[in-house]
Amino acid sequence: MAKRFKVIFDRERCKGCELCRSFCPKQIIAMDTQVNAKGYCPAMITDQESCIGCQSCATVCPDCAIEIYQLEEGEA
């Protein structure tokens, strides 16, 4: 069975620079239409199941706002 991943964005830390979105090979990151407390549109994941766990988004994030976990079998 293919590995599954969970990507968590720290909404309040994100300043909406869109670097993660531009580097996602699966194009599954989008910018929220709701602003965060600082007034930025933070990044969010649109299709969790398609994530391949490449960590490109977390690597380019200048604000360390992205965490990626590998899910155990059966975990949601």
Q: Per CB under 8 A, does 19 bind another protein? A: yes
Around Cβ 34, how many Cβ atoms within 10 Å?
A: 9
- Name which of 55 and 73 has its Cβ closer to another protein: 55
Q: Which residue has the tokens 């300043």?
A: 15
58/9 Cα distance (integer angstroms): 9
From the list 4-12, 29-37, 51-59, 66-74, the region that binds another protein by CB under 8 A is 51-59
21/15 Cα distance (integer angstroms): 13
Residue of 11, 51, 56, 66 that binds another protein (CB under 8 A) = 56
Taking the complex as a whole, the smallest distance from the CB of residue 51 to another protein amounts, in Å, to 14
